[in-house]
């Protein structure tokens, strides 16, 4: 057996025979993640520098990705291939929220003039599955699909409501504070459950505040959170109370109508 470190910093064992295949998949994904909106094309040299892999390995992986349609070679470099478009279309259909839910988020952002997000939990992370940006020039923006840590933030305090002790420990260990952070996490979770919403000020990013409330399944489980976030200077106590009341109202309507995607299977 060999051990590999996961994103949570915990070592996981895998069969030695599977290790080369797992490494190849990870290396291929590392190449694909070099492509961004700011850098839609990458050269072989870019990939070698970005991944630290040998040029011969890069060429072999690029050829495989190109054959699968995940990369497309041009005279200027390699771009995202048409195969990714099919996956992107599938992901959009699976995760896009219903029009009525999106309208509620747009109205909330226009009314409160702060960024509205919907997060779901995945392992020790929270994933942004929907967003409506604040109309103000100075605003907080998280890209859809971004993974943020669960060890801090208003949304985390809500999403961790039913977390097991073992999971809370893993979340604590992923934080800068280590095992002892589990006590603070539990205090945050209890407080959020008691008052029906959670607040954070500069816990993950200095100058950033958020208010979050749960979105429930028909069975009463927390399946997602709805949040407002922005600069701390725009989140005084009186506005936090107003934000929480508005968020609760919208989240209740979302919970009552349910989600077609991405949480339909959880309702």
Q: In the prediction, which pLDDT does 262 show?
A: 52
Average pLDDT over residues 105-126: 95
- Is the distance from CB of 232 to CB of 208 less than 8 angstroms? yes
- Token couple for 143: 């890209």
Q: In the prediction, which pLDDT does 266 show?
A: 40
Task: For residues 37 and 119, state if they share a domain.
Answer: no
Task: For residues 30 and 128, state if they share a domain.
Answer: no
Average pLDDT over residues 68-95: 86
Task: For residues 78 and 104, state if they share a domain.
Answer: no
- Let me know if residue 262 belongs to a domain: yes
Q: In the prediction, which pLDDT does 151 show?
A: 97
Task: For residues 151 and 70, state if they share a domain.
Answer: no
Where does the pLDDT of residue 94 fall: very low under 50, low under 70, confident under 90, or very high at 90 and above? low
- Range scoring the smallest mean pLDDT among 91-105, 131-145, 166-180: 91-105
Comparing 100 with 4, the larger pLDDT belongs to: 100
- Let me know if residue 13 belongs to a domain: yes
Give me the domain span that covers residue 51: 2-86
pLDDT digits (tens, 9 = 90+) for 200-247: 999 989 999 999 999 998 888 899 999 999 999 999 999 999 999 999
Task: For residues 140 and 8, state if they share a domain.
Answer: no
- pTM as predicted: 0.72
- Let me know if residue 91 belongs to a domain: no
Any idea what DSSP says for residue 18?
G
Other CB atoms within 10 A of residue 66 CB: 15
Could you tell me where the beta strands, DSSP code E, fall in the chain? 2-5, 11-14, 71-74, 77-80, 115-122, 125-132, 147-149, 198-201, 208-216, 222-231
Burial status of residue 88 (CB atoms within 10 A of its CB: 0-12, 13-18, 19 or more): exposed
Choose one of 57, 86, 115: the last residue of a domain: 86
Task: For residues 206 and 262, state if they share a domain.
Answer: yes
* Averaged confidence pLDDT in the chain: 87
CATH of residue 157's domain is: 3.30.450.40
Distance of CA 178 to the CA centre of its chain: 22
- Token couple for 21: 């295949």
pLDDT digits (tens, 9 = 90+) for 16-50: 445 666 888 999 999 999 999 889 999 999 999 99
pLDDT digits (tens, 9 = 90+) for 132-163: 999 999 988 888 888 999 999 999 999 999 89
On the question of pLDDT at 9 being above 50, the answer is: no
- Let me know if residue 19 belongs to a domain: yes
Task: For residues 51 and 16, state if they share a domain.
Answer: yes
Q: In the prediction, which pLDDT does 113 show?
A: 96
Which residues pair with residue 211 across a beta bridge? 199, 228
State the Cα–Cα distance between residues 161 and 79, nearest whole angstrom. Answer: 42
On the question of pLDDT at 114 being above 90, the answer is: yes
Burial status of residue 265 (CB atoms within 10 A of its CB: 0-12, 13-18, 19 or more): exposed
CATH of residue 14's domain is: 1.10.10.10
Q: How many domains does the chain have?
A: 2
Average pLDDT over residues 72-84: 93
Q: What residues contact 78, with CB distance under 8 A and at least 6 apart?
A: 41, 42, 43, 44, 47, 62, 66, 71, 72
Choose one of 35, 52, 86: the last residue of a domain: 86
Q: In the prediction, which pLDDT does 6 show?
A: 44
- Let me know if residue 173 belongs to a domain: yes
């Amino acid at each position: 057996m060999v051990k590999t470190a996961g994103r949570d910093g915990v070592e996981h064992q895998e069969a030695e025979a599977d290790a080369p295949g797992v490494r190849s998949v990870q290396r291929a994904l590392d190449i694909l993640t070099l492509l961004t909106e700011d850098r839609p094309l990458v050269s072989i040299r870019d990939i070698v520098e970005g991944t630290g892999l040998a040029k011969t390995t890069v060429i072999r992986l690029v050829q495989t990705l190109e054959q699968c349609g995940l990369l497309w070679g041009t005279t200027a470099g390699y771009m995202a291939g048409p195969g990714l478009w099919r996956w992107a279309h599938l992901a959009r259909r699976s995760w896009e929220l219903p029009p009525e839910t999106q309208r509620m988020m747009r109205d909330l952002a226009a009314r409160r003039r702060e960024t509205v997000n919907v997060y779901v939990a995945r392992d020790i992370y929270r994933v942004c599955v929907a967003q409506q940006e604040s109309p103000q020039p100075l605003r907080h923006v998280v890209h859809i699909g971004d993974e943020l840590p669960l060890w801090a933030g208003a949304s985390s305090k809500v999403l961790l409501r039913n977390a097991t002790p073992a999971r809370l420990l893993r979340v604590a260990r992923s934080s800068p504070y280590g095992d002892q952070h589990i006590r603070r996490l539990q205090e945050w979770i209890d407080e959020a459950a008691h008052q029906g919403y959670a607040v954070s000020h500069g816990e993950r990013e200095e100058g950033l505040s958020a208010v979050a409330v749960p979105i429930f399944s028909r069975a009463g489980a927390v399946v997602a959170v709805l949040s407002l976030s922005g600069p701390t200077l725009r989140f005084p106590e009186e506005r936090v109370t107003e934000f929480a009341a508005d968020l609760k109202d919208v989240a209740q309507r979302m919970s009552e109508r349910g989600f077609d995607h991405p949480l339909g299977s959880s309702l």
